[in-house]
Structure 1
């Protein structure tokens, strides 16, 4: 493989990461709609269940959230550099993430536990009764903590990791430089792939494995995987060596991701659903999922840089819309799916309506909130006229 050409300056705009973020958030709609038709645990289910849905879900499950945390770390590093200090950086992030989180918990996610309780636990009260008497009761109702952040757990974790980044910036300059330099040197060479795979393997070897709890306090194994991903994104933005290593190795990473997925899919075929997995398969399967996860992330970073680092007519709008889409999409899936239940539609029609309805509803949520200045903060948007590319690193070529 030929050596990569020289990178441009750090001020170069990198639209590829914007496109990658847009795509990652867009996949969430298909992933969560897929869960509705799967036999995996999910808070809302269709009457149509199919074992085969496990295969496309397994193609995304190992890496989709880790990728989003890595991109978020990359973006956070760019914002920190532009903020003029850790205090304004944290103030801006707490506002941009915290306000929509509070609004989301108070209003947006509330239909989800009601639908969950109604369809799965025999809850007999209407939504308004639920809101008045139960949702703000701050108790556990049939296994659900109320009020609930539901899918907004990602924002909760991201806020926690942002605060951790702010704390790290307060460390002595020499210590920061030494740690950052050591990590950058280790990841800038042949250890890029084995170190990443090894870390994910160890993190997912902790009790809990790959089953995240979405509980900020007790989700140790998830934090062991996601916080390093976030910090990797932070490190990546300022390290030309790591960027060039990705440019050299992303094709190998892609092959590892495919091989890892094939092992995971084979295990699903041999031991489908809730069938127990033999002890002899445990370590190889965990290693395969780790290779799939890290390989996919490195490959996607490489592809985004090499092929997607160009602006487009809808890039800025779609990048801005990604967070509002995330905030509302799962609630829309629940509401649309619940409304479709009495119709007993064929599975394909139900799937199509769920995807299209969620996309259209998310777009309406974004456009409506964007147009009303007081609503912009509660859907995760900044003041008008401040849309920027998500990340601004140097471009790689390999």
Structure 2
């Protein structure tokens, strides 16, 4: 293993030194992805039929078609970007295996601090109002928030047994992304010395896309119906297989710079394929093709065909978003730099603010358009205030997952400097 790693690190471009390139497109796409998440969760308040913590008295059926556009890939995009960012960090660790795992152990500690502490804080403090409002609106409880909260944080509570998990009434709701990302990050860190060898494989974009979609299809066929999404971590096997596969794909893309550039070249084709698959899915939802569900039960080959439509839709949107992002967002922006630093506070607070705002406006009777604008404005303002307050002291920074001090890794790169053409300028830059 050590010899293989040394070979991977022996490639040099003349006498050039490794340069730590900032992948500005990833920063921008991460901000945009969380922006989509905020809009999506506001949409969940209004969309017809889909259950959520609180629902509008003016449900909108047309929203389903709009929200389906992103609901099959929006979370995958977040895991993909997280994997790419983590892989960039891992490529900067020294070649020696012992040194790698020494630095990786430090990285695990940093990830634990920035993901699990905010998770616990969020479960005990931020999520509680969501649960209280949901159960109040649907008639499950008729108590003050203080009475509810004492039972909510009590792991031995005897209240509402049917709604308890192994830790009582305590839940993470929308914060499920944090423990999932923590687990997947640990797996990626352990596997990275092996994944580093992938950088030497002759993968072009077409072959890589076919392999990725085939792997996604196997996951979809084997696990989708057997393990429906639960977000409970221990039994959510379809989600684990799907998102861990996306994490591995993200690592390979960073390890193969030619793939990174290929997303730009294939961006229009990816977009056309994505739109085509999306339109097929929407047409099926409106029964254009007839009893597709029955045909899937009767024919294994038809089920495979439907599975390919689903997974190609998933992959093509990820590829299109990455391609256009790399092409047009590969430079620093002040708004990205600011918002990228506040991703976790925004993520942690947004859904609670949406639920509280929607509940507060529920009986006022505002026109739906104005109500949406008010909820969105309150959400963004509340998240911005939270971020500014979170930056004020060490305790709040830790609770909201912000950096406490500069976490700089000064070690030599784990992989060799590789030169790629910039899709913007055509010049060479080191990665």
Runs of 4+ residues deviating >6 angstroms: 385-388
**Structure 2 CA distance, aligned partners of 1:395 and 1:138?**
59
Which residue of structure 2 lines up, in the alignment, with residue 160 of structure 1? 183
Mapping of residues 229-248 of structure 1, within 5 Å: 229-248=246-265
Mapping of residues 206-225 of structure 1, within 5 Å: 206-209=222-225, 211-225=228-242
Judge which range, 59-68 or 310-319, deviates more: 310-319
Shift in Å, 1:61: 0.6
Equivalent residues of 2:353, 2:382 under 8 A apart: yes
* TM-score for both structures, normalised by structure 1: 0.87
**Structure 2 CA distance, aligned partners of 1:345 and 1:247?**
44
Shift in Å, 1:250: 2.4
- SS of 1:343 mapped into structure 2: coil
Which of the numbers 352, 359, 363 marks the counterpart of 2:384?
A: 363
The superposition leaves residues 85-119 of structure 1 with CA deviations (integer Å, 9 ceiling, x where unpaired) of: 21111011111111111111111111111112111
Which of the numbers 397, 401, 421 marks the counterpart of 1:376?
A: 397
Judge which range, 21-30 or 120-129, deviates more: 120-129
Which residue of structure 1 lines up, in the alignment, with residue 171 of structure 2? 148
Which residue of structure 1 lines up, in the alignment, with residue 428 of structure 2? none
Which residue of structure 2 lines up, in the alignment, with residue 3 of structure 1? none
Mapping of residues 65-80 of structure 1, within 5 Å: 65-80=75-90
Shift in Å, 1:49: 0.9
Which residue of structure 2 lines up, in the alignment, with residue 308 of structure 1? 329
The superposition leaves residues 157-190 of structure 1 with CA deviations (integer Å, 9 ceiling, x where unpaired) of: 0011011123324xxx5x5554x247x534x342
Equivalent residues of 2:199, 2:252 under 8 A apart: no
Is residue 2:275 matched to residue 1:258?
yes
Judge which range, 258-267 or 248-257, deviates more: 248-257
**Structure 2 CA distance, aligned partners of 1:237 and 1:29?**
27
Which residue of structure 2 lines up, in the alignment, with residue 119 of structure 1? 137
**Structure 2 CA distance, aligned partners of 1:315 and 1:200?**
31
**Structure 2 CA distance, aligned partners of 1:60 and 1:211?**
19
How many residue pairs end up in the alignment?
380
The superposition leaves residues 273-292 of structure 1 with CA deviations (integer Å, 9 ceiling, x where unpaired) of: xx994434755443222112
Is residue 2:111 matched to residue 1:93?
yes
**Structure 2 CA distance, aligned partners of 1:81 and 1:138?**
45
Shift in Å, 1:317: 0.7
Judge which range, 62-71 or 81-90, deviates more: 81-90
Q: Which residues of structure 1 form unaligned runs of 5+?
A: 1-7
Which of the numbers 176, 188, 194 marks the counterpart of 2:210?
A: 194
Which residue of structure 2 lines up, in the alignment, with residue 136 of structure 1? 154
The superposition leaves residues 288-335 of structure 1 with CA deviations (integer Å, 9 ceiling, x where unpaired) of: 221121011111111111111111222211111122100111111111
**Structure 2 CA distance, aligned partners of 1:395 and 1:36?**
45
- SS of 1:148 mapped into structure 2: coil
- SS of 2:81 mapped into structure 1: helix
* TM-score for both structures, normalised by structure 2: 0.80
Which residue of structure 1 lines up, in the alignment, with residue 32 of structure 2? 23
Equivalent residues of 1:185, 1:241 under 8 A apart: no
Is residue 2:368 matched to residue 1:347?
yes
Shift in CA distance, 233/319, structure 1 to aligned 2, threshold 3 Å: same
Equivalent residues of 2:126, 2:349 under 8 A apart: yes
**Structure 2 CA distance, aligned partners of 1:289 and 1:233?**
20
Equivalent residues of 2:180, 2:233 under 8 A apart: yes
> Which structure has the higher relative contact order (CA within 8 Å, separation 6+)?
1
Which residue of structure 1 lines up, in the alignment, with residue 58 of structure 2? 48
Q: Which residues of structure 2 form unaligned runs of 5+?
A: 1-15, 95-102, 297-301, 410-416, 425-431
Equivalent residues of 1:24, 1:68 under 8 A apart: yes
